[in-house]
Amino acid sequence: MVNDATVVILAAGQGTRMKSKLAKVLHRAGGKALVEHAISTARHIAPPERIFVVVGHQAEAVGAVANAAGVRSFEQRQQLGTGHAVMCGESELAGLGGLLVVVTGDCPMVRPATLQSLVDLYQKTGAKAALVSADVDDPTGLGRIVRGDNGDVLAIVEHKAATPEQLTIPEINAGFYCFEAEAFWKHVHEIRTDNPAGEYYLTDMVAILLKAGHRVVALKAADPSELLGINDKVQLANADRILRERKVHELMLSGVTIIRPETVNIDADVVVGQDTVIEPYVQIKGATVIGENCHIASSSIIDHSHIGDNAQIHPFSVISNCTLDAHVHVGPFARLRMNSHLHEGTHVGNFVELKNTEFGAGSKSMHLAYLGDSTIGSKVNVGAGTITCNYDGKKKHRTNIGDRAFVGSNSTLVAPLNIGNEAYIAAGSTITQNVPENSLALGRSRQVVKEGWTPKR
Q: Which residues are catalytic?
A: 367
Q: Residue 23 or residue 342: which is nearer to Ca ion going by CB?
A: 23
Site residue total, ligand UD1 (CB under 6 A): 28
DSSP 369-410: EEEESEEE-TT-EE-TT-EEE-B-SS-B--EEE-TT-EE-TT
Shortest Å, Cβ 135 to ligand UD1: 13
Alpha-carbon Rg for the chain, nearest whole angstrom, is: 30
**How far apart are alpha carbons 282 and 415 in whole angstroms?**
36
Shortest Å, Cβ 17 to ligand UD1: 9
Q: Does residue 345 bind Ca ion (CB under 5 A)?
A: no
Q: Residue 229 or residue 420: which is nearer to Ca ion going by CB?
A: 229
Q: Which segment (99-107, 146-154, 178-186, 410-418) binds ligand UD1 by CB under 6 A?
A: 99-107
Q: Does residue 81 bind ligand UD1 (CB under 6 A)?
A: yes
Q: Does residue 360 bind ligand UD1 (CB under 6 A)?
A: no
**How far apart are alpha carbons 272 and 295 in whole angstroms?**
11
**How far apart are alpha carbons 227 and 302 in whole angstroms?**
31
From the list 190, 6, 209, 223, the residue with the least C-alpha distance to 103 is 6
What does 12 bind: Ca ion, ligand UD1, none (CB cut-off 5 to 8 Å by kind)? ligand UD1
Q: Does residue 299 bind ligand UD1 (CB under 6 A)?
A: no
| The amino acid at 73 | S
Q: Does residue 62 bind ligand UD1 (CB under 6 A)?
A: no
Instruction: Kindly write out the interface string for residues 176-215 of this chain, putting x where it contacts Ca ion by CB under 5 A and - elsewhere.
Output: ----------------------------------------
| 55 in Cβ contact with 11 (< 8 Å) | yes
Q: Residue 229 or residue 408: which is nearer to Ca ion going by CB?
A: 229
Instruction: Kindly write out the interface string for residues 211-250 of this chain, putting x where it contacts ligand UD1 by CB under 6 A and - elsewhere.
Output: ------------------x---------------------
Residues 365-379: b if buried by 16+ CB within 10 A, e if exposed: bbbbbbbbbbbbbbb
Q: Looking at 229, 331, 360, 372, which residue binds Ca ion (CB under 5 A)?
A: 229
| 131 in Cβ contact with 123 (< 8 Å) | no
Which SS3 state, helix, strand or coil, does residue 359 take?
strand
Q: Which segment (9-17, 284-292, 341-349, 421-429) binds ligand UD1 by CB under 6 A?
A: 9-17
**How far apart are alpha carbons 237 and 189 in whole angstroms?**
38
